[in-house]
Amino acid sequence: MSKPHELPAISLPSKLESVIDPERVLSNRYNYPELSWSPDIHEQKALARIKETFLNVELSHATASDPKLLQTEGIIPPSDLTDRQDWRSQTGKLDESLGLDHYTFLHWGALHPTGNGRYIFPVEARDILLSPETIVTPYDIHSTMCTYMMNTDDIRALDEEGQRRLNEYLETIVPGKDWVDIIARRALRRMQYTDDKSVYKVRSHSDLGEIKHLGAISPTSLHKPIDIYDKQTMYSKWLSLVENNGLAVSYITNTLEFGSADDKAELQTSLDKSRKLWRKILDIAQKS
């Protein structure tokens, strides 16, 4: 007799758990059409290759705070920044009412300016994304609830429209591990059916989701910060993502679609490496 399926553990702050329990977060995976697809054995091998490749793409945390603070103390959630005037935070009252202020926020592969601060800290993705203390949504809650962010300190006071938007947001929350699976499946399907199989295009900093990790992130997990005004370092980072991970951030994507012939020509060597990477993955998937 087989053992009953055990749900993996996931940690939530008490305020968030009051509106969505861990079991619901775990079941939210079925809200994503990518997970209704049953890949065959060859596609499973291709997906495993994509996951491994994308887990080597660093997460990023942009900050307007002094980078030396993060290098010393790590990335600290807003809930722990009371009376810390030397830190900068964009947390609203709605975030606090949901317990989201207990999370540190990151993006995946968004190693480019986002308006969240001058310095970008690359962060190792694997341990964060696969942690039971990490949840992900496709977008920031501010994008759909901006009118409620600063004046809602009790979610019970939300009007009908606010409750509808909040419920839609809650239905998108999934564990980081499931999000990795969703993105890998999305990438494989897109690359299987697109005419341009040279690179997986990320068109905005939120394309790979908003990553939320419960608690602080140790300074030992942070790499050297990147100054967004250091164009040479930024460009080198973007090329590395193309060549080693088959992924193009929005700045590269825009160049490919709207840049001059000379600008596009400069990318050809990197694109050739990316195309070779994806060809190997797609060949694995197409053996069925």
Beta-bridge partners for 61: 121
What's the predicted TM-score (pTM) here?
Answer: 0.91
Q: Which amino acid is at 119?
A: Y
Q: Is 185 left (phi over 0), alpha (psi -120 to 50) or beta?
A: alpha
Backbone φ and ψ for 269, nearest 5 degrees, come out as -60, -45
What pLDDT digit, counting tens, does each position of 5-14 carry? 454 579 999 9
| pLDDT score of 5 | 47
pLDDT single digits (tens) 91-143: 778 888 899 999 999 999 878 777 778 899 999 999 999 999 999 999 988 88
Q: What pLDDT was estimated at residue 283?
A: 97
Contacts of 112 (CB under 8 A, 6+ apart): 120, 205, 228, 234, 238, 249, 250, 251
For the chain, which residues make up each domain, given as ranges? 14-285
185-212 pLDDT per residue, tens: 999 999 999 999 999 999 887 789 999 9
